Structure 1
C-alpha cells in the first residue's frame, strides 16, 4: 500500500531545561524553505520520508533515520525528496550550550564545534536524538505552563517514556544525544584554517547591517563603510556568507523578531520594529524560514506568565 503524503504542519515549543533552545516537530509536503540560516545548531532527525536541501554548495538528501546537522550561520534550504514529503524532529541548540558541553567532555577548553557537511547516517545517534526530543515534547505536553504549539496535537508518551514526564530522564537523554553527536562527529571550526578574502571588511558590513534594522540602507552606503565599490562589496559579502547583503539582513530581522514574538508583541508591531515594509512582507519571509506563519509560531512559543 502506498504511504499517504504528509501535510504541511509544524509545532514549536521550548523547555525550561535548556533556556534558549527551540524545538519543532513537523511534517511537510508542499512547503519549500527558501535559503536561510539559524543562529543555533540545527540538529534534526528524519522520522519518515526524505528531505532534500542545498548546503555548502551541494544538494543533499536526508532519508529516514539520518541526522542532517546544519552549523550556525550556514545558509541552507529544504524541500521534499520523496513524493510523500518528510517528517522530522529538530533541536535548535544554542552555540553556547554546544561549546560548553564540548569543553566538559574534553575537560579542557575547546574550539567552537563544527559538524560535517554530509548527512550523518548513524542509526544509533538518530535513535538517541529522537528519544531526547520525544521526552522533552512529553514534558511540554504535560506542563501546565505550556502554550499549545501549532497544528500538532499533544503527543502521547510511548511505552518507553517515563510516565507523567520525568525532567531528570529528559535532561539526561538530551545530554546523551548531544554528547554522542560531539564525540563522534565534531570537527574543529574551519574558520581558523580556511582563508577568507577579507574577514574584517565582512565583519564591518555585518555590523552596519545589524546596527539599525529599520534604517533604509543602500548597497552604495554599505560599500562606502568599508571603502569598496558597490560591486566589490556585494561580491565579497556574498562569497563570505553565501547570501547577498539584503537577504542576510532579512534573515537577521527574522532572528531578532523571535524574542518580541515570544513576549507576546503583536505581529504587526514586530514586523515594523524589525524593518519589514508591512505585516504581509514579514509573514511571507517568516513562513519561508520557519514553515509556519508568525502568529502560529508565537502561539507555541509564548513566554510563561
Structure 2
C-alpha cells in the first residue's frame, strides 16, 4: 500500500505527474478523436473496459493497451476515468510497457489486453494525497516492467532522445545530434523514426507539449505556459494539444490537483 484511500464526496481532480522521463495522467475523459503521441503510451482502465479504435481497425472494448509512438488512435470513455502513462524513449522503449498487460494480443500495431495495474491506478486516483508517493509508485512500475520487456531501443536513438531533452531552448540541430551518435544526418533521421516511431521534428513538438503541461501543472496559466514552452500564443498551444491528445486542453488540465 502506497497511501490511504480517498475520503469525502467532492469530485476528484485530474492527476498529472511529470518528471524528466515519464508522464502520468489519470482522470475522466469523454471522447478523444484520432491523435498520436511522440512517446509510447500505456492505457489502463480503473475498472470496466474503454473503447479504443486504431487507425484502419474497428472499435474494440479493452481494459488496457500499449500504443507505440506515432500510432493514430481514438478513445471513447463516456466520462469514466483512464490512466495514461507515457515513458520517454531514453527511459524505456515501447516494449518495456508491454509487461503491464496480461493476455495481450497484437492489434493494428498495438497491444491490447487486460491491465495488471488497475489497483495501483485506482489508488493513485482516489487518494487525494497521492502526488506525495506517485514517484515511488512509478519507479516500482518501471522496475517491474523493464526486466520483462520484449526489447529495448537502439542506444544511438536513446542517446539522441536524451540530447534533445537536455538541449537549451535554442535546441540542438540534426547534424549536431548525428555527430553525437556517430551517424550521418540522414542515417540518424531514418534510425530515429524507425526506433522511436516518429520523426525528430515530431518528437521535438511532443517535448514542447510536455513542457507546457508541466508549466500548467505547476500553476501557470495556459497563456503563461504556452509562452514558456515556446508556443506563439495560447491558441497555438490549444491547437497542438487537440492534435496531440484528440480533445481540448481544458478537459484534462483545468483544476488539476496540486
With the shorter chain as reference, the TM-score category is 0.5 to 0.7
After TM superposition, the score normalised by the length of structure 1 is: 0.54
How far residue 213 of structure 1 moved from its aligned partner, in angstroms, is 5.7
Structure 2's unaligned 5+ residue stretches are: 1-11, 18-22, 88-95, 130-136
- Give the unaligned 5+ runs of structure 1: 1-10, 96-110, 146-174
Q: CA deviation at 1:296?
A: 4.6
Confirm or deny that 1:202 pairs with 2:202.
no
* Change in CA separation of 1:120 and 1:276 when aligned onto 2, cut-off 3 Å: same
1:78 aligns with 2:33: no
Larger Rg: 1
Aligned length: 218
Q: Which residue of 2 aligns with 1:52?
A: 53
Is the Cα–Cα contact under 8 Å of residues 15 and 26 in structure 2 kept in the other structure? Answer: yes
Instruction: Please show how residues 56-205 of structure 1 align to structure 2 within 5 Å.
Output: 60-61=57-58, 63-64=60-61, 66-70=62-66, 74-79=69-74, 87=78, 89-93=81-85, 114=99, 115=101, 116=104, 118=106, 120=112, 129=118, 133=122, 139=126, 188-191=148-151, 199-205=154-160
Classify 1:259/1:15 alpha carbon distance in 2 versus 1 (closer, same or farther; 3 Å): closer
Decide which structure has greater strand share: 2
The residue matched to 2:160 in structure 1 has which SS? helix
Moved over 4 A (4+): 37-40, 45-49, 59-62, 119-122
Match of 1:298 in 2: 253
Q: Which has the higher contact order (CA 8 A, sep 6+)?
A: 2
SS at 1:36 equivalent: coil
1:142-169 CA deviation, whole Å, 9 max, x = no partner? x7x9xxxxxxxxxxxxxxxxxxxxxxxx
Q: Distance in 1 between matches of 2:112 and 2:186?
A: 38
SS at match of 2:230: coil
Give the aligned CA root-mean-square deviation in angstroms.
Answer: 4.5
CA contact (8 A) 1:113 1:187 kept: no
